[in-house]
Amino acid sequence: MPRAEHGISRDDISENALKVLYRLNKGGFQSYLVGGCVRDLMLGEHPKDFDVVTNATPEQIKGLFKNCRLIGRRFRLAHIVFGREIIEVATFRGHHADDSDESGSHLGKQDEQGQLLRDNVFGTIEEDAERRDFTFNAMYYSVADFTVTDFANGLEAIEKREVRLIGDPQVRYREDPVRMLRAVRFAAKLNMSIHKDTAAPIPELAHLLGNIPPARLFEETLKLFLSGNGELTFKLLNQYGLIAPLFPQLKPYLHDSKSREMQFISQVLANTDERINSDQRVTPAFLYAAMLWYPLEEYTQKLALESGLAEHDAFNIAATEVLQRQTQRIMIPKRFSTVIRDIWILQQRLPRRFGRRAYQLLSHPKFRAAYDFLLVRGQVEGGSALELADWWTQFQHAEPGVQKRMLNELRKHEGGAPKPRRKRRRRPSGGNNADA
């Protein structure tokens, strides 16, 4: 498609991405913008990232750019660093040969289930296009002649608003099971439907996500739930049987979308979407705390019942166990797991408001997150959780005199006036401390 037919302007492209394209071309290499940035530009949106593809090898790319670092083993990539912006540059992928070359380099490797373990087979632009995942991601923009080359009818997919895989869906999902998550993410993000052939194998192959490293799944879940379409994404993931492989402890709750557990997660995701779309800060910790809250409650009750542990001890043991089970599937960095525990523990402490406790809780660094969490619980559960949320809403914004009155009223309501402090008996001088 020449310039007149596609409407992409250099004004809409990152200056740093253009620098990379121009320098690769000047170095005698082919270079193109590819994937999501071209798709988004064709949709009239502003891409967040700009990815470049070239026939230069990673080592040749590094030779052209002082600000380049090579990353990855499964996919060898070059990152060109411009301050806070990183332009990712990949070499054209080729098809896998049955045997490797003598040097042992530039190899592809698959496991017995067809999953790609290494993919450093380099090829032509045509082969690279066939190796792309979805049809609308196989469009290539050239700054040399301002054309867009559409290898897989990506424009048609955009016009039909369909997410469609290139090639045999069974094979492509086995090569990289994360493509199932990407199909859902694009459907939610771009307001598209998943083509029936692309959707059909997903429930059957969802278990393959168990083969993906937990660290990679953490990155993927951030994209799924923190892109401003989390609520819809969660519904689609559940529709295709993809929540249980990611959050096994949610499995008992997934069949009933009207249950309090599912309502709670939906409301938290809706609130998160609203914050993201209003350019407000969010933390993955809040989301994970919400996903695992009811499994934690249930496991706490089970422990307390079966072992006779005090609720506080059962809660702490259950929190550790629930987090450990989850991190076997999705890695949660410590900087987030610590906040998750704080939010959970404060749910236990927020009902205990007597004396100085209410003021101490207000000054807790994670009070705001825990209060927001309680607010959603109140909306979904009603009853005592709603009453408690309303009380904290009033208390934190009240004048000191009103706060004191609220605490006095609370004492009366919760069981009368405070008990008088018992006078300590004076020890008889020279005694043996028997009465102390």
Which residues are annotated as catalytic?
Answer: 49, 51, 133
Mean pLDDT of 401-420: 75
* Per-residue pLDDT at 132: 92
Is the pLDDT at 115 greater than 70? The verdict is: no
48-97 tens-digit pLDDT = 899 999 999 999 999 999 999 999 876 789 999 999 999 999 999 987 65
* Per-residue pLDDT at 423: 52
Mean pLDDT of 318-328: 97
Q: How confident is the model at residue 433 (pLDDT cuts 50, 70, 90)?
A: very low
Class of domain 167-255 (CATH, top level): mainly alpha
Is the pLDDT at 185 greater than 90? The verdict is: yes
* Per-residue pLDDT at 121: 84
Q: How confident is the model at residue 133 (pLDDT cuts 50, 70, 90)?
A: very high
336-384 tens-digit pLDDT = 999 999 999 999 999 999 888 999 999 999 999 999 999 999 999 999 9
191-203 tens-digit pLDDT = 999 999 999 999 9
* Per-residue pLDDT at 428: 52
* Per-residue pLDDT at 119: 53
CATH number of 1-97+111-160: 3.30.460.10
258-289 tens-digit pLDDT = 999 999 999 999 999 999 999 999 999 999 99
* Per-residue pLDDT at 413: 72
State CA 385 to chain mean position distance: 28
Q: Are strands 162-163 and 193-194 parallel, antiparallel or unpaired?
A: parallel
- Check residue 210 and give left, alpha or beta (phi > 0: left; psi -120 to 50: alpha): alpha
In the chain, % of residues over pLDDT 90: 81
> Which region among 46-55, 94-103, 229-238, 411-420 has the lowest average model confidence (pLDDT)?
94-103
Mean pLDDT of 312-317: 94
Q: Are strands 51-54 and 85-91 parallel, antiparallel or unpaired?
A: parallel
Q: How confident is the model at residue 417 (pLDDT cuts 50, 70, 90)?
A: very low
pTM of the model: 0.84
Q: How confident is the model at residue 422 (pLDDT cuts 50, 70, 90)?
A: low
> Which region among 6-10, 72-76, 220-224, 393-397 has the lowest average model confidence (pLDDT)?
72-76
Average pLDDT value over all residues in the chain: 90
* Per-residue pLDDT at 97: 56
User: Cβ contacts of residue 409 below 8 Å, gap of 6+?
Assistant: none
* Per-residue pLDDT at 107: 47
What three-state secondary structure class fits 11?
helix
Q: Are strands 85-91 and 108-110 parallel, antiparallel or unpaired?
A: unpaired
18-47 tens-digit pLDDT = 999 999 999 999 999 999 999 999 999 999
What letter does residue 207 receive in the DSSP assignment? G
What residue spans define the domains of the chain? 1-97+111-160, 167-255
What secondary structure does DSSP assign to 124-170, as a single string? -HHHHHHHSSBGGG-EEE-TTT--EEESS-HHHHHHHTEE-BSS-HH
* Per-residue pLDDT at 436: 36
> Which region among 80-94, 302-316, 418-432 has the lowest average model confidence (pLDDT)?
418-432
Is the pLDDT at 117 greater than 80? The verdict is: no
* Per-residue pLDDT at 430: 47
* Per-residue pLDDT at 324: 97
CA atoms of 168 and 159, how far apart (whole Å): 22
Q: How far apart are the first and last CA of the chain?
A: 92
Is the pLDDT at 424 greater than 90? The verdict is: no
